[in-house]
Amino acid sequence: MVGRKPQPVKHLSKHAASADFDDQIAAMVTALGLPRAALSFVDFADGRCHHYRADEWFHAASTIKVAIMVALFALEEDGEVGMNSAIRVTNDFHSVVEDAPFRLEPERDSCPELYRWLGHEVAVDALVRDMIVSSSNLATNLLLASTGVSVLQQKLVELGVDGVELRRGVEDEAAFQQGIINRVTARGLLQLFTHIWQGEWPGARHRQDMLEILFEQRFSDRIPSGIPEDIRAHTRFAHKTGEISTVVHDAGLVFLPERMPYGLVVLTETGGSPENSRQLIRALSRLVYRQRLKP
């Protein structure tokens, strides 16, 4: 499946069916009491796209970790990063604001196991896997500190990725207080996953590496849960969730049986109700599956 040639992406015209789809999305957002949401979709079987409020910026939460992974693999292809090289595990970091020191709180990290390796060295590729699969904040900050936030953001710019801004590490409170956050748009994240699937960079070997990491992502209560159970059992999801107190997201590629994949991004503001956001993502995943896929 991964080796099949994808069709070029093209935009849907704004016809009545498209407008009706927007109305359905808006009605769901309103019914669940969410301040706002955004959606971007592309079917690689025929290149059809749909975008709903797709250029609005949201706090990225952990979806930014996909951008970090892509930039690192691109740097590895350039010979600037070695995936087999080692990084010493520490919990001492410096803010992008005045180099202020800060530490992560292990109890707030979804991958506490990595803290057992403090003082030891861990390979870059293992940290990348922890960053995506278990959404490790410690792995994320170690990779950012080793390479540099600005270096990774510049690589994303060079790759032509729009709508994704990497500006700081996780739990950089000094930066947060000054309004410096990592942020994304739905269209930007979809573009990122489109590059992973059909871009000319990185090489085919790295594309497969990234897909295999994304396939292992542990959290499956959003986009995957919108697919009918009998189909879901035979479907693979290369995706990344993100969640903090104010936003809940999911973004990735859906590999249904016997067809080209499709890309789907749903970003939400919670309004204090994260479960409502999760419910919306599941409902929109179901709606896309039923109404937007080529028969």
For the stretch 29-45, pLDDT in tens is 999 999 999 999 999 99
* Contact by Cβ (8 Å): 22, 40: no
Q: Report the predicted TM-score, pTM, of the whole model to 2 decimal places.
A: 0.92
* Parent domain of 236: 1-56+185-295
Pairing of strands 93-94, 101-102: antiparallel
Confidence bin at 192 (pLDDT 50/70/90):
very high
* Contact by Cβ (8 Å): 280, 274: no
Tell me if 150 is assigned to some domain.
no
Tell me if 21 is assigned to some domain.
yes
Residue 125: is its pLDDT beyond 70? Answer: yes
- Report, as an integer, the average pLDDT of 247-275: 96
Average pLDDT score, the chain: 92
Tell me if 20 is assigned to some domain.
yes
Tell me if 167 is assigned to some domain.
no
pLDDT the model gives residue 139: 98
Count the domains in the chain: 1
- CA–CA dist 82, 67 (Å, integer): 17
Dihedrals φ, ψ of 38, to 5°?
-140, 150
- CA–CA dist 171, 44 (Å, integer): 36
Find the CATH number of the domain harbouring 17: 3.40.710.10
pLDDT the model gives residue 215: 97
| Alpha carbon separation from 239 to 69, 127, 233 (Å, rounded) | 13, 17, 16
Task: Using alpha carbons, select from 236, 261, 239 the residue that is nearest to residue 250.
Answer: 239
* Contact by Cβ (8 Å): 18, 235: no
Tell me if 31 is assigned to some domain.
yes
Tell me if 203 is assigned to some domain.
yes
Confidence bin at 12 (pLDDT 50/70/90):
very low
**Residues 6+ away with beta carbon under 8 Å from 227:** 235, 254, 256, 285, 286, 289
Kindly state the helix (H) or strand (E) to which residue 190 belongs, with its residue range.
helix 186-198
Dihedrals φ, ψ of 164, to 5°?
-140, 120
Residue 233: is its pLDDT beyond 50? Answer: yes
Tell me if 144 is assigned to some domain.
no
- CA–CA dist 208, 242 (Å, integer): 22
- CA–CA dist 142, 71 (Å, integer): 15
3-state DSSP assignment of residue 207: helix
Please give the structure tokens belonging to residue 241.
Answer: 């969730």
Tell me if 217 is assigned to some domain.
yes
Confidence bin at 204 (pLDDT 50/70/90):
low
Residue 143: is its pLDDT beyond 90? Answer: yes
Q: What is the identity of the amino acid at 276?
A: N
Residue 159: is its pLDDT beyond 50? Answer: yes
**Residues 6+ away with beta carbon under 8 Å from 128:** 69, 72, 83, 139, 143, 213
The rounded percent of the chain whose pLDDT value lies above 70 is: 92
Dihedrals φ, ψ of 209, to 5°?
-60, -45
Residue 57: is its pLDDT beyond 50? Answer: yes
Least confident interval from 6-15, 110-119, 170-179, 227-236:
6-15
